[in-house]
Structure 1
Amino acid sequence: MRIFIIYVQHYDLKSQPILIHSTLIKTRLKTTKLSLKNKENNQHIILYNRIPKTASETLNYLFHQQSHKKYYRMIHSNQYVSYNLSLNKQYLFIKQIYTFNPPILYERHVYFVDFLHFNKQQPIYINMIRDPIKRTVSNYYYSRRMCLKKNRCTFIKNRTILNYTLDDCIETENEPFKCITLEYGVTSAIPFFCGQNHLCSSNENLSWAVEKAKSNIDKYYTVVGLTENIEQLLFILEKLLPNYFRNISLVYIKKRRPHINFSPRKWRKELKPNTHLILKDLLKFEYDLYNYIKKRFHEQYKQLQLINKIHE
């Protein structure tokens, strides 16, 4: 039996974080780095650097509805594909965020940006991740649909590969790993947590990139949820950041919009069993990170449930 202390902070957006209680809890849960008590983060800025094809449109919808209650201002970026930023663009990105009157929630598809490098407080980072194979399949076909139907060929330069199914690509490509890279229309989740260093997105040293991503998550992310468990994510957001997300679960239950940006059936292909096995191996570093986040997320949820029951 392990005994440890969990500190949960509620934030007053007009002042510094206020520690309102600490609780001794007897539990068999292993301790985990939950990023619950980092007082150095800027409590007036939430940055949701969302990963493509993780049901982020659903979260955006909920966050937008919540902003109508005037808890905060929701800022939607119109930059959808510039994930990797030069030092100058990182500086301008941070400068832009600081032009808005707080409190704000800023969302954008962008790799993790280290505000401390530019002598600014780190914002409250949040994100959501999805099972790597499911996200890869969704991303692969979504990119092709956007390219063929809307002529938005953002990353795919070779149009001859547009009609390849993922099965075709894996079976015929001399280097199957290429099928799950940006040039084939698939983004990696790793650099969204690892950051702007070229090693985070170059596939040169994926083991280093994953460890850097884990370190950033532990230090700077209040929560990283799972697409498969969105209701649990909303519960965590309500408990850890109530001044932003109070009763957001009720919005979700009322609207019941499980997936807003959903691909038509003809653009969703079932994988062959052999392709699934190959992808499992190709995505081993993605799964390493995913499973780390999954464990952290479930421990957060269980611990906050315990606190919630004690104070009912």
Structure 2
Amino acid sequence: MVSACPRSFSIRPWMLFGVAGLLILGLVLFHLQAQIDTLNTSRLHLGATLLLIAKINYNICHFFPERDLSKLNSQRRKQQKLSSSELQFERDLVVIYNRVPKTGSTSFVGVAYDLCKANAFHVLHLNISANMHILTLPSQARLVQNVSDWREMRPAFFHGHLAFVDFQKFGTLLRPVYINVVRKPLDRLVSYYYFLRHGDDFRPHLVRRKHGDNVSFDECVQQNLEDCSPDNMWLQIPFFCGHAPSCWEKGNEWALQEAKKNLLEHYLVVGVTEQMDDFIALLEVTLPSMFHGAVQHFALSSKSHLRKTSQKADPLPQTVALIEKSKIWIMENEFYQFAVQQFSYSLKKAQAVGASGAQQTFFYEKIRPK
């Protein structure tokens, strides 16, 4: 009986190529999955950081239906004979209102929330963690990136108690339109002093931090207490100055000059609390796509006194005289008067061209080549 001789197994070249191909394909798929996991992790980390550092609440006037936005733009184009480029400008508009506390900002923001659906824009509240007014440098970068890339929210109106952020410093192409409102420094301090003790008529049942303290502002000044210190007026200057350490150094002369510079170079309109109706009127004729109907709404609704501090008493003349001797009041008042001067000039020029202020005062000619 002859035993069968086992057949030898030989590896074919095509088998080697097949195995190598499978290995390469596996490595490519593994690399792609790793990249996807990295992107997902980065996205989640960015989202978590933004929620932690600068929470953005947009529960009101959230996703406005695209068809309604297109319909409204079509109507505006027919009514006002807007060009496609003008409509694109309106669609990409980003306004940032870095509101100074106790300047009437709640009343103005209330108007924006009431108009956002009718005028087809989004309102988003920048809620800074721990009531801080400044962000770390990485948080500023993430905020700039988020606002710049979030095109689904445009046109957008962002608002929050946040110091000025220079978008150009981070290399973004977006240049948001900044607006703000300032108030007489001592009036703002007195309002804040009583607000911490007695609250306001916006949320009357909320117990404030200094609830139960019945010391008047005059008594506080007489006793040289911390809550009424002139140093507490140092707020409007740093809000316009920005995030540099010197901006928040009380009495810093560079901060004052930087605040003035930023007001001129980065802010479209800076109104004053005492002329809120004029501020809204100037915005309506300057940015009608967002603020159309704002003047009438502000005048006829209850928004003009949406948040009034309770039990606020005007300080005595001797108290005012004492406060006005301080370096901080002198500097803050200088900035306030500077803002008033710029606002009055813009308002006067707008009123000079007609009742609405919206008449175009330029045209093109001598265009070459023909």
Provide, for residues 29-65 of structure 1, a one-character-per-residue CA deviation record: whole Å limited to 9, x for no partner: xxxxxxxxxxxxx952100000111111110111111
Q: Which has the higher contact order (CA 8 A, sep 6+)?
A: 1
Write 1 or 2 for the structure with the bigger share of helix: 2
**What residue is the counterpart of 1:200 in the other structure?**
247
Provide, for residues 169-228 of structure 1, a one-character-per-residue CA deviation record: whole Å limited to 9, x for no partner: 322228x7971445xxx66111111111111112151x2111101100110100000111
Give 1:104-253 correspondences, 5 Å limit.
104-120=156-172, 121-145=174-198, 150=206, 153=209, 163-173=214-224, 179-181=229-231, 188-205=235-252, 207-253=253-299
Answer whether contact 1:45 1:123 (CA < 8 A) is retained.
yes
Of the structure 1 ranges 277-286 and 58-67, higher mean CA displacement relative to structure 2 is found in: 277-286
Q: Which amino acid aligns with 2:220?
A: C
The answer to whether the aligner puts 1:85 opposite 2:141 as a matched pair is: no
Q: Structure 2: 5+ residue runs without aligned partners?
A: 1-82, 200-204, 361-370
Distance 1:166 1:189 in 2: 20
Q: Which amino acid aligns with 1:273?
A: P
Distance 2:299 2:193 in 1: 30
Provide, for residues 62-106 of structure 1, a one-character-per-residue CA deviation record: whole Å limited to 9, x for no partner: 111110214311112333722011111212222332335211000
**What residue is the counterpart of 2:324 in the other structure?**
280
Identity, % of aligned positions: 25
Q: The residue matched to 2:153 in structure 1 has which SS?
A: coil
Q: Please state how far the C-alpha of 1:161 moved relative to its aligned partner.
A: 11
Distance 1:190 1:295 in 2: 16
Decide whether aligned partners of structure 1 residues 160 and 129 sit closer, same or farther in structure 2, where only a CA change above 3 A counts: closer
Q: Which amino acid aligns with 1:166?
A: F
**What residue is the counterpart of 1:75 in the other structure?**
124
Answer whether contact 2:240 2:262 (CA < 8 A) is retained.
yes
Answer whether contact 1:97 1:106 (CA < 8 A) is retained.
no
Distance 2:331 2:251 in 1: 12
TM-score of the superposition, structure 1-length normalised?
Answer: 0.76
Answer whether contact 1:13 1:103 (CA < 8 A) is retained.
no
Q: The residue matched to 2:303 in structure 1 has which SS?
A: coil
TM-score of the superposition, structure 2-length normalised?
Answer: 0.65
Answer whether contact 1:43 1:123 (CA < 8 A) is retained.
no
Decide whether aligned partners of structure 1 residues 172 and 150 sit closer, same or farther in structure 2, where only a CA change above 3 A counts: same
Q: Which has the larger radius of gyration?
A: 2
Q: Please state how far the C-alpha of 1:307 moved relative to its aligned partner.
A: 2.1
How big is the alpha-carbon RMSD for the aligned residues of Structure 1 and Structure 2?
3.1
Q: The residue matched to 1:135 in structure 2 has which SS?
A: helix
Decide whether aligned partners of structure 1 residues 190 and 77 sit closer, same or farther in structure 2, where only a CA change above 3 A counts: same
Decide whether aligned partners of structure 1 residues 306 and 84 sit closer, same or farther in structure 2, where only a CA change above 3 A counts: same
- Count of residues in correspondence between the two structures: 267
Q: Please state how far the C-alpha of 1:114 moved relative to its aligned partner.
A: 0.8
Answer whether contact 2:134 2:243 (CA < 8 A) is retained.
yes
Write 1 or 2 for the structure with the bigger share of strand: 1
